[in-house]
Amino acid sequence: MFDESKCTLCGECLIKCPYLAYPEDKAKIEFKKLIDGENTPVTTDCITCAACNMICPEGANPFDLINDRQEETGSFKITEAAIRMFNLGSALPSKIIKGKPEKPVMSICSLGDLLPGVLEGQLFDGLTFLKGGKYFCYFGWIHAGRPSLLKENAQKFVDTLAKTGAKEIILFHDDCYAMLTNKVKEYGIEVPFKPIHIIEYLRDYVKDHIDQIKKLNMKIAYQQPCASRYTFEKDNMLDELFELIGVERVNRKYDRENALCCGSIQGSMLNVSKDEQEEWRMRNLIDAKQAGAEAMVFLCPICVLGLRSRAKAQGLEPYIISNLVRVALGEELTHGGAGKIFK
């Protein structure tokens, strides 16, 4: 939620945005228009990566204001195909795959079947899985410029998860974690279970099985999901995990505060050309390669789909993060590091 009382109109959110990169004077003028409810190109050109929430020195959450204005004005235009994809998320068949009673419960949202071979191995052995549209968190609708759908469906999302009776639920998808630890607080909704991020689960699993870990001695570039802008405090936990498995997260331009979107949202925006979308994706990958990375590591399945083949073409082996941990545990991957076998 945007907190106007914290905003000093410094313009940093629009100055440091890699996509808009306004000069200081323009940034201040355009953000004041956002506050006053006046028309501004920001609502059309913002790609909804939420970087400005991380950039803002005052913690005012400027993206939340931009997103609200996008919905109010209808100025953020995306393809019908993208809208169908978001609608499909909540319409997929749902089921609970029962595991062992003493093992954790993991929600895989509506994305569990997108990446073959990912939910295999000892990390997932015996877990109970919640999958399908009933467990769709709706967080992705910020990328369609429709944040009201998050609020409308938040209580239902929490209640559906709570009905499992689990005291802790691991969230495979970063969006679900952001919804349960950030957005629901804005709506005054209590969560009667403890949300566990997949990174926390992986880190703790590695700590408990450190005798099985063979350090990878690998340099990697990390593709940060947009939803992590709402929970960026967990970045230290991620670095701890990388250290435990012997992975060096290369120091590069487009990481952490300066991380770029994977390009999937740009690919659905009507005012962004295919050439422009591809240019941004390649900036990201070339930056990773020039920083010395051997692999590209993903947390979000949508980021995987958008970048894995492009990363491979640049000599960056793609891995979803759980598969990287599985390799450190000595496991064989049936479908490669990112759910696809490259020939």
Residue 187 has pLDDT above 70, yes or no: yes
Residue 233 has pLDDT above 90, yes or no: no
What are the tens digits of pLDDT across the range 161-175?
999 999 999 999 999
Can you say whether the dihedral through the CA atoms of 86, 87, 92, 97 is positive or negative?
Answer: positive
State what percent of residues in the chain have pLDDT above 70.
100
Least confident of 37-41, 107-111, 188-192, 319-323: 107-111
Name 66's Cβ contacts closer than 8 Å, sequence gap at least 6: 34, 42, 43, 46, 52
Query: What is the per-residue pLDDT for 112?
Result: 66
Q: Work out the pLDDT band at 114, boundaries 50, 70, 90.
A: confident
Q: Work out the pLDDT band at 111, boundaries 50, 70, 90.
A: confident
HEC secondary structure over the chain? CCCHHHCCCCCHHHHCCCCCCCCHHHHHHHHHHHHHCCCCCHHHHCCCCCHHHHHCCCCCCHHHHHHHHHHHHCCCCECHHHHHHHHHHCCCCCEEECCCCCCCEEECCCCCCCCCCCCCCCCCCCCEEEECHHHCCCHHHHHHCCCHHHHHHHHHHHHHHHCCCCCEEEECCHHHHHHHHHHHHHCCCCCCCEEEEHHHHHHHHHHHCHHHCCCCCEEEEEECCHHHHHCHHHHHHHHHHHHHCCEEECCCCCCHHHCCCCCCCHHHECCCCHHHHHHHHHHHHHHHHHCCCCEEEECCHHHHHHHHHHHHHCCCEEEEHHHHHHHHCCCCCCCCCCCCCCC
Are 337 and 320 in contact by the 8 Å Cβ rule? The answer is: yes
Q: Work out the pLDDT band at 91, boundaries 50, 70, 90.
A: very high
Q: Work out the pLDDT band at 96, boundaries 50, 70, 90.
A: very high
Check residue 216 and report its DSSP letter: -
Torsions phi, psi of 178, nearest 5?
-60, -40
> Mean pLDDT in the chain?
96
Mean pLDDT of 200-207: 98
Mean pLDDT of 145-155: 97
Choose among 48, 53, 56, 43: nearest CA to 10: 56
Query: What is the per-residue pLDDT for 314?
Result: 97
Residues facing residue 296 across a β-bridge: 221, 318
Sheet hosting strand 95-97, strand order edge to edge:
95-97, 128-131, 105-107, 168-171, 194-197
At 69, list the tokens.
């204005």
Mean pLDDT of 76-96: 94
State what percent of residues in the chain have pLDDT above 90.
96
Mean pLDDT of 291-317: 97
Residue 320 has pLDDT above 90, yes or no: yes
Q: Work out the pLDDT band at 110, boundaries 50, 70, 90.
A: confident
Check residue 268 and report its DSSP letter: G
Q: Work out the pLDDT band at 113, boundaries 50, 70, 90.
A: confident
Residue 63 has pLDDT above 70, yes or no: yes
Question: Which position has the token pair 């440091």?
Answer: 16
pTM: 0.95
Residue 276 has, within 13 A of its CA and on its CB side, a CA count of 12
Hey, what domains does the chain have and what are their CATH numbers? 4-73 (no CATH), 80-197 (3.40.50), 202-328 (3.40.50)
Question: Which position has the token pair 């945005």?
Answer: 17
